[in-house]
Amino acid sequence: MSFDADVAVVGGGLGGLSAAISAAKEGLSVVLLERGAYSGSKNVSGGRIYVHSLLKLIPDALERAPLERPITRETYEVRCGDRRVTFTFQKRNRDSFSVLRAKLDDWLSHEAEAAGVLTSFDTQVTGARREGGGITVETNRGEFKVPLVIEADGVTAPTSRYLGIRRLTPEQFMVGVKEVVATKPELPEDEGEAKVVLGLTAGLKGGGFLYTNRESVSIGFTVKVESVQEKLVKTSELIEDYRESLGIEGEVLEYSAHLIPYMGYRGLPPLYAPNLMVVGDAAGMLISDGFVIRGMDLAIGSGTIAGQVAAKLREMNNFTRTDIYQSQLEDSFVMRDIKAAWKSFKGLSNPRFYEVYPQVICDVLDSMFSVGDRRLLKVAQERLRKEGLGLTSLARDLLWFT
């Protein structure tokens, strides 16, 4: 059977573009299929990217990529009603930057084109089937026959589902809601802040975030889908309350709601099948450990590895040996970090971190800074007892984060 290219990459987000660039740099012919009118058009809003994997792919990205601000300030805030605890850490490492995805993904797609990738926008993959020793990808603009597909079509992994290797269930996901608000951060031009906020999600399991861009802030929260279903909270109303509670005023430039994989190392879906490698969100690669959200660097890292494995498979003239991708991932930062985050992933499934412990912290601090009972352990114990808990259960829960 004759093929249209060596590799079809499905999805032109950070994972797909990285895979395409990495495979094209190895001399493969690559077609990238993206349903949006351009890369980033379906990826509005922003966040914070740890740039290590981007720099491996594009060594001078710091000079050329549309990064917003280096994150130099990490703030953690716990709210309990009208009380709040805030902790700020001034960082030395400038290893992460705020970004606006519409700009970053678009820039990376031009890098892909310059590397020789054939990009096909407005091209939605609608099906996939195995035939002739490869995979035929069906799209709204016709079919592409290839010996190898790199799937980077995001959290709902349509290609894996078309090929029958994946099923979705609600407990595998969080929902993320983001806004970009036009307001100039009160920080020097070369500084930026990342903030995590607990206690402003109406009791839903999850937390909020804020990143400062050059002329705007990206705010939002990520919460477990099942807790939204349980508590019947409207996330569109919650984001309004969240913005007001943070005291942010300005025109809302963008709004988006998106699913986020929440699977942990042990819950990851199949990462490969013969003639198929799955990268980024489609492969469930996300770290949310209560302090940081990381998906972009994992998408770029896994995409880069998939592109390199594609070259190896062509050299072997055997596109079924995609198991090599899994073993290379296991040896990389991608799986090392996802594995390391597994314990906090389990810990964060515990509702006590959202409902009880913020109150304990605030009660202890209230006593610490008031005239009255200053036996802080006793204050903590009393609050825990009200909730039917003891210090041992607190210690046991905290062990998940060690």
**Which stretches of the chain bind ligand FAD, using CB under 6 A?**
10-16, 33-36, 42-43, 47-49, 124-125, 152-154, 158, 176, 178, 220, 222, 258, 260, 280-282, 286, 293-297, 299
Q: For tokens 């949310």, name the residue.
A: 288
Closest CB to ligand FAD among 335 and 389?
335
Closest CB to ligand FAD among 283 and 313?
283
Closest CA to 287 of 302, 272, 277: 302
Nearest-approach distance from CB 372 to ligand FAD, in angstroms: 41
Cross-strand partners of 9: 32, 150
Nearest-approach distance from CB 16 to ligand FAD, in angstroms: 6
Nearest-approach distance from CB 104 to ligand FAD, in angstroms: 10
State phi, psi for 383 to the nearest 5 degrees.
-65, -40
Closest CB to ligand FAD among 39 and 275?
39
Q: 314: phi > 0 → left, psi -120 to 50 → alpha, else beta; which? A: alpha
Closest CB to ligand FAD among 96 and 359?
96
Burial class (CB in 10 A: 0-12, 13-18, 19+), 254: middle
Nearest-approach distance from CB 302 to ligand FAD, in angstroms: 8
Say how far apart CA 152 and CA 337 lie, in whole Å. Answer: 20
Closest CB to ligand FAD among 51 and 389?
51
Nearest-approach distance from CB 173 to ligand FAD, in angstroms: 10
Nearest-approach distance from CB 129 to ligand FAD, in angstroms: 15
Cross-strand partners of 178: 220, 256
Q: Are the beta carbons of 115 and 32 closer than 8 angstroms?
A: no
SS3 43: coil
Nearest-approach distance from CB 242 to ligand FAD, in angstroms: 12
Closest CB to ligand FAD among 176 and 207?
176
Closest CB to ligand FAD among 216 and 367?
216
Nearest-approach distance from CB 49 to ligand FAD, in angstroms: 5
Closest CB to ligand FAD among 185 and 295?
295
| DSSP string across 186-224 | SS-TT-EEEEEEES-STT-SEEEEEEE-SSEEEEEEEEE
Burial class (CB in 10 A: 0-12, 13-18, 19+), 189: exposed
Nearest-approach distance from CB 388 to ligand FAD, in angstroms: 34
State phi, psi for 209 to the nearest 5 degrees.
-145, 165
Closest CB to ligand FAD among 47 and 70?
47
Contacts of 217 (CB under 8 A, 6+ apart): 180, 181, 183, 185, 210, 211, 248
Distance set, CA 287 to CA 41, 280, 332, 342, 397 (Å): 24, 11, 15, 9, 19
Say how far apart CA 199 and CA 14 lie, in whole Å. Answer: 31
